[in-house]
Amino acid sequence: MTTQAIAEALQQLSSLAEQAQGASTRNANPAASGFAGELESSLQRIVQLQRTASTQANAFQAGSSEVSLSDVMADSQKASVAFQMGVQVRNRLLTAYKDVMAMQV
């Protein structure tokens, strides 16, 4: 991975974090704020990306002239990357939980 690709990935992550920050500040439920709220909004974003990719693919397969193959592939890759990120976050959380549970008090 090149330095430019890493910089672009970091920029996308920071923009997603800003979007999540805006979504959590608009949330009126105080119980959903904090880490749990951020996690939930991230999961909802992943689901939305997967729905968008599925909708685009179905429209392309149906022969819609409004959807191009490049749009379908881009949305599919966005959904795939978001899902993989979610899996990695889950794995890190499980590892952290196991580490905390293994600590002697």
The string of pLDDT tens digits covering residues 21-62 is 765 555 555 555 788 888 889 999 999 999 999 999 999 999
Residues with Cβ < 8 Å from 16, sequence gap 6 or more?
45
Distance CA 74, CA 77 (A): 5
pTM score of the predicted model: 0.63
87-103 pLDDT, tens digit per residue, is 999 999 999 999 999 99
Contact 43, 34 (CB under 8 A): no
Average pLDDT over residues 74-97: 93
